[in-house]
Each structure stands twice: as C-alpha cells, then as structure tokens.
C-alpha cells in the first residue's frame, strides 16, 4: 500500500472514529452527525423544566426545584432496577440483557439490588445539598408551594409498594392525581413485590414459605449453610440493605424537615415532621429483621 492509498483508506474509513455495533459500522465523534450530547439527553426540555413560582424570584427556589427533580429521576431509576430485580427472581427475564438460566438470573437480581444501594446512598447524601438553604431563605418562597408536597410523589409511593409496603389508602388519600398516576399506583398494588419474588426463590430451592415461621426457618437454613444457599443468603442481605437504606433516607429527611420548618404543618396539609416521624418504624422486610434474633 502506497502512502497515498493509506491516506485514502483512512479518509474513506476513519477507524479512529469508528466502531462495530450490532453488525453495523458506527461513526463516532462529530463525523457521526446523528446525535449530539444535548439532543440525546433532551437538555433543552430538561433545563427548561425549572419554573420558579416566587415573585420576585427567591434565589434558593431554583435549588429546591432542582433537588426534587433530581430525586424524581433517581426514583425512576430505582423503579427500573427494582422491577428488573423482581422479575429476575420470579424467573421472568424477558426484558433483561442477562442470560435467563437460574444461577445467572439470581446473580443479575443481586447485582441490580446492589446498584440500588449505591443510588439510595446518594439520596441520603443529597439532603446535605438541600441543607445549604437556610430556614429563612426557604420561607421566602415556601408559601408559593402549597398545596404541593413531597407526600404526593407518585414514584416514591410506587417504590414503597414495589418494595413490599403496600397501602391502598394512599391511592384514595392523594389529591390531584391524574388518571395515569392513579392507574400506576393501582398496578403496583396488584403486581408482585420484591418480597413475593424472594419467596419464589426460596420455593425454587426447596425451602418452605407457607407461614412467616417457615420463612424465617428457611432463611436461617440459608444463613447457616451458605455453601449450598449462597445466592439465597446474598439476596436476603441485599433486600435487608435496601430496607436499611430506605430507613436511613426517611430518618435523614425528617431531621432536615425539622431543621427547616420545625413543627409547622406541611405544605400539603400533613402534620409535617410529626407525620414523617410516624413513618420511621416502617420495615419492608420485618421477617429478615426478626431473623437477626434467631441466628
């Protein structure tokens, strides 16, 4: 090959910008000219979604909106991972990219739960950013929020339902739900939870699940025979970690609310911090916590 032909080949097919994807040649970099960073992430829509209600605009309202929009994005990701982890434990891997045989699907479920743990730690740490806002700065725009409230987060309730804490009363208590949002919550009430999926794994491994006492004995068996039930025990621990991190977020959240508004009523009409404190004892998997006393 002559120098000229090498140049020509490089020009015709710039391998330094090319890759194989699905059997098709893909051009990377500006030469691709298919998507941009902004168009792929829909940044025009995303960055135009922060509408301040205060007039004149309170400086910290943008921070408040951004934090809560980011929370909703993380809730969406957690729902995505939790749904896939549940389906893997149930044996439904139709939407998964991992192989569908039993050992691999349980590994996939554990992997997704571990990803959830990392995201949930971010949720807790994100409160630190919100606490850079002083109570008096929050009061500059708080009254414009009513009756909007974090209590109305549909995705957060979906996550609780999917995790195992189903409460049909929330569907009726929520005010201002769209038909689509109400349908989503009802669907979560009807579909299997992560706990239902874990019980399915126990049954597949020949472990009893007929009563709560059977479940505790079965998980205790897995705990003391990890050579035979390492995957079962790993899933039990991953679920408990999910439960613990959800509790850590609730605890961190209520302290932040008390720091910001004290004993004031919430913007949505709830008792504020008092209501949030009433949710602290919630456990998604009480049997896994009870097991600790029997190991």
Farthest CA pair distance, the chain: 81
Q: b/e map of 111-127 (b: 16 or more CB within 10 Å)?
A: bbbebbeeebeebbebb
2 marked ligand binding residue:
no
28 marked ligand binding residue:
no
Cα–Cα distances in Å, from 290 out to 43, 144, 217, 287?
A: 47, 44, 11, 5
Q: Strand pairing partners for 25?
A: 20
**Residue 113 near residue 241, CB atoms below 8 Å:** yes
CA dihedral 156, 161, 167, 169 (to 10 degrees): 50
261 marked ligand binding residue:
no
**Residue 118 near residue 141, CB atoms below 8 Å:** no
Q: Strand pairing partners for 27?
A: 18
174 marked ligand binding residue:
no
142 marked ligand binding residue:
yes
59 marked ligand binding residue:
no
Positions at the binding site for heme:
253
Q: Annotated binding site for substrate, which residues?
A: 64-68, 142, 267
Cite the annotated binding site by residue number: 64-68, 142, 253, 267
């Amino acid at each position: 090959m002559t120098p000229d032909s090498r140049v020509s080949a490089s020009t015709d097919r710039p391998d330094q910008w090319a890759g194989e994807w699905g059997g098709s040649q893909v051009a990377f970099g500006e030469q691709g000219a298919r998507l941009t960073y902004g168009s792929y992430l829909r940044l025009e829509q995303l960055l135009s979604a922060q509408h301040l209600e205060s007039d004149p605009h309170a400086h910290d309202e943008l921070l408040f909106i951004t934090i809560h929009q980011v929370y909703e994005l993380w809730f969406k990701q957690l729902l995505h991972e939790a749904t896939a982890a549940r389906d893997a434990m149930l044996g439904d891997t139709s939407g998964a990219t991992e192989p569908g045989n039993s050992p691999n699907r349980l590994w996939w479920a554990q992997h997704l739960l571990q990803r959830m743990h990392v995201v949930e730690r971010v949720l807790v740490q994100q409160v630190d950013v919100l606490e850079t806002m002083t109570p008096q700065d929050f009061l500059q725009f708080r009254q414009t929020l009513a009756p909007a409230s974090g209590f109305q987060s549909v995705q957060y309730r979906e996550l609780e339902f999917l995790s195992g804490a189903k409460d049909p009363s929330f569907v009726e208590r929520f005010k201002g739900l769209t038909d689509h949002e109400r349908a989503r919550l009802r669907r979560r009430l009807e579909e299997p939870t992560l706990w239902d999926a874990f019980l399915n794994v126990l049954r597949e491994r020949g472990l009893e699940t007929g009563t709560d006492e059977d479940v505790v004995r079965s998980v205790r068996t897995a705990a003391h025979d990890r050579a035979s039930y390492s995957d079962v025990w790993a899933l039990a621990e991953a679920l408990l970690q999910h439960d613990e991190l959800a509790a850590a977020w609730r605890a961190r959240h209520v302290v932040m609310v008390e720091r910001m508004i004290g004993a004031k009523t919430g913007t949505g009409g709830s008792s504020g911090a008092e209501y949030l404190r009433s949710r602290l004892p919630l456990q998604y998997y009480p049997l896994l916590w009870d097991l600790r006393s029997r190991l």
